[in-house]
Chains A and B, each alone.
Chain A
Amino acid sequence: MKFSAMLATVLSVGMVTSAAADGHKPITAGFVYVGPIGDGGWTYQHDQGRLAVEAEFGDKVETVFQESVPEGADAERVITQMALGGADIIFTTSFGYMDATNNVAARFPDVKFEHATGYKREHPNVSTYDARFYEGRAVIGHIAGNITETNKIGYIASFPIPEVIQGINSAYLHAAKVNPDVEMVVTWVYTWFDPAKEADAARAMIDQGVDVIMQHTDSTAPQAAAQEANANGGRVFTFGQASDMAAFKPTPRVASIIDDWAPYYIERVGAVIDGTWEQTAHWGGMPEGEVVIGEITDAVPAEVKAEAEEMVAQITSGAYHPFTGPINRQDGSVWLSEGEVAEDGALLGMDFYVEGITGDIPN
């Protein structure tokens, strides 16, 4: 009697799991966003990835998302709620969710977690994924070095983390290669999304003679500020960040770095459906189609545009790595010798400026 009861329990549990594996029950994929999906930048692109997942798998998948989740204690609550709500895989799409993601993952070993741009995988059910934004920065750095007249390139930086520092270094290296007089003006705003502050930072740069502005923040406010300056007789150029920001074509936005998360999201959700999900540390770039350069407008001279497109082709084919020596650190010590290519580990922990950039990185 006792044995048969146990057997019945085992059987019924087995039936539930097999039913799920057969795909009778849809998989739930959750997404946690740092900004609003209407930011026109970072979060918008992640949400496009979510929609691509829905389009790909149809009724085999349900998606849920939560936008404008602050980095910090709130994030842990939101992720926990999503896991309790039955999500099978949760994408947490900002660097600041790193600890929260790992903490929640410890309590829900059956749920898969995917953390964007982080490096902590403390549990077997946590993967990390990132895109090689520095490849795009190299291309826009090349354009910026060519089109600046004041030789001042502004970089609205969010937080001093390796991802952002890679971008600053990559953009500077490639701008300085074509224009040795170029100067990198870095302003830290300590936010991913604050349109008013981003606009203020752009204005401060324009007031001080910066004529090419790059941003590592999520809103289109710097583009609007540049557009306004141009309407008042200025000559300022910008680049779309994370999303194409096509509304600001042909100037001030002369090109853009687009993040395309759809291929990765489809692959990972597919892996959960098939039951083949495994922990990874994914870092895709131009070859995988995750980093895309948006249309380069006619405001850029034709030969510069051709060079930029050639660079995209070289990076895509693997013939060129944006961090190829000789590159020195800011203090003049050698980082990469002639022909040496940076290893991923070194890039993921990058905490120094390259030679030629002035100023200090805040801690």
Chain B
Amino acid sequence: MTGTIDPVLLIASLMVAATPILLAALGEMVVEKSGVQNLGVEGMMITGAVAGFIAAASTGSPWLGFAAALVGGAALSLVFALLTQILLSNQVATGLALTLFGLGLASLLGQGWVGIKGPTMPRVDLGPLSDIPVLGRILFNHDPMVYLSLALVAAVWAFLRSTRAGLILRAVGESHDAAHALGYPVRRVRTLAIAFGGACAGLGGGYLSIVRVPQWTDGLTAGAGWIALAIVVFASWRAPRVLIGAYLFGGISVLQLNLQTAGARIPVELLSAAPYLVTILVLVLISGRRGRSGSAPADLGKSFHASA
């Protein structure tokens, strides 16, 4: 009756919608692989979002904005690292506190930046590739951050799977006592992982404020950090599955809005709940097939003290 959904545009917008949670979830996955549970993703994302927007709007360069988002997210995560790795505070409580702190800090920093227009991020000009029908619009007509996030998935996958450093990081997450006995610097590895996770969450937040929304308002992330945390579990701590999870969630969120706009005769309540329903369904299917929930790092969320 009304509009028709163009699948090409749909897939293109899906990739944009999924990129913030993809980046944040990927970072958190590395953190959790090292045995640390940081529930402060939402706080780090929104700090990255505000830092990125302020830098981008005041310099006019989206790239400087992303750099600031990365630094902002990482800086906040180092507070978490200090509290949980050096002062051995409870990770769950500290992570929740980090979210609350990040939301408040971002709100404070963002005062005076509401309603200001930021620079736009140009799409990558891939010349003739962008003109290929269908594929050109889906694959070769995005902003650079979409490609960067995909490259990061591949890099994290390769790092964890085939490098010595990746093996050490996983060992620290599986058994910090054994890793420590072998002479690996457990706290340093975890601190680096936490900083990487914070930088990724910051980038994800920056993508929201610089590209996807693109502007600053209080509460911009609106729970995206929690979805990123869920996707890590959904993906059973594997990088390619993080990609699938983020695109699935982003895709269904965008699809349901498109279906409504196109006037599909499906109850709106069902459409709105669809992203969550499908995520739960896939989670059940995956865990059913594996028959065990042993994919979580064995020392996830446990504090490490060398004298213990």
Q: Which of A41-95 contact B (CB under 8 A)?
A: 67-68
Please tell me if the beta carbons of A68 and B218 are within 8 angstroms of each other in the complex: yes
For window 184-227 of chain A, which residues contact chain B by CB distance below 8 Å?
185-191, 193-197, 199-201, 203-205, 207-210, 219-221, 224-225, 227
Is B262 part of the contact surface with A, judged by Cβ < 8 Å? yes
Q: Is the Cβ of A37 less than 8 Å from the Cβ of B272?
A: no
Binary interface encoding of chain A residues 352-363 relative to chain B, with 1 for a CB under 8 A from any of its CBs, else 0: 000000111011
Complex alpha-carbon distance, A205 and B184, angstroms: 54
Interface contact A195-B253, CB-CB below 8 Å: no
Q: Determine whether the beta carbon of B107 is less than 8 Å from that of A38.
A: yes
In the complex, whether A247 has a CB less than 8 A from a CB of chain B is yes
Q: If A220-B115, A224-B213 touch, does A362 touch B219 (CB 8 Å cutoff)?
A: no
Q: Contact check, B219 vs A193: say whether CB atoms are below 8 A apart.
A: yes
B257 contacts which of A35, A38, A201 (Cβ < 8 Å)?
A: A201
Q: Roughly how many angstroms separate A195 CA and B13 CA in the complex, as a whole number? A: 16
Give bound CA distance, A302 to B129, whole Å. Answer: 44
Cα distance A201–B212 in the bound complex, in angstroms? 12
How far is it, in angstroms, between the C-alpha of A124 and the C-alpha of B3 when the chains are bound? 50
**How distant is the Cα of A38 from the Cα of B53 in the complex, in angstroms?**
15
**Does B213 contact A205, Cβ atoms closer than 8 Å?**
no
| Contact residues of B between 258 and 284, Cβ < 8 Å to A | 258, 260-263, 267-269, 272
Q: Does B87 contact A (CB under 8 A)?
A: no
- The residue among A38, A195, A210 with the most chain B CB atoms within 10 A of its own CB is A195
A-B contact count (CB 8 A): 128
Which of B120, B263, B272 has a CB less than 8 Å from the CB of A188? B272
Least Cβ distance of A186 to chain B in Å?
8
Could you tell me the distance between the alpha carbons of A154 and B258 in the complex, rounded to whole angstroms? 12
Query: A36 within 8 Å of B by Cβ?
Result: yes
Residue in A closest to B216 when the chains form the complex, CB atoms: A38
A183 within 8 Å of B by Cβ? yes
B61 within 8 A of A: no
Indicate which residue in A219, A225, A362 contacts B217 across the interface (CB closer than 8 Å).
A219
Mostly, the A contact residues are: mixed
Q: What's the nearest-Cβ distance from chain A to residue B4, in Å? A: 7
Contact B115 A196 (CB under 8 A): no
Map CB proximity to B onto A121-132 as digits: 1 under 8 Å, 0 otherwise.
000000000000
Given A204-B254, A207-B6, A224-B215: A38 in contact with B222 (beta carbons within 8 A)? no
- A224/B263 in contact, CB under 8 A: no
Q: Contact: B222 with A197, CB < 8 Å?
A: yes
The verdict on A245 contacting chain B, using a C-beta distance below 8 Å, is yes
Interface string of B110-152 (1 = CB under 8 A from A): 1100111100100000000000000000000000000000000
When distances are taken between beta carbons in the complex, the residues of chain B under 8 Å from A210 are: 3, 261
Please report the C-alpha to C-alpha distance between residue A288 and residue B49 in the assembled complex, in whole angstroms.
40
A-B contact pairs, 29 of them (CB 8 A): A36-B107, A36-B217, A40-B114, A185-B2, A188-B260, A189-B257, A194-B223, A195-B208, A195-B217, A195-B220, A195-B222, A196-B212, A197-B257, A200-B253, A200-B254, A204-B258, A207-B6, A207-B13, A208-B3, A210-B3, A219-B217, A221-B213, A224-B117, A224-B213, A231-B120, A246-B115, A247-B115, A358-B1, A362-B268
Residues of B within 8 A of A (CB): 1-6, 9-10, 13, 17, 20, 107, 110-111, 114-117, 120, 208, 212-215, 217-224, 253-254, 257-258, 260-263, 267-269, 272
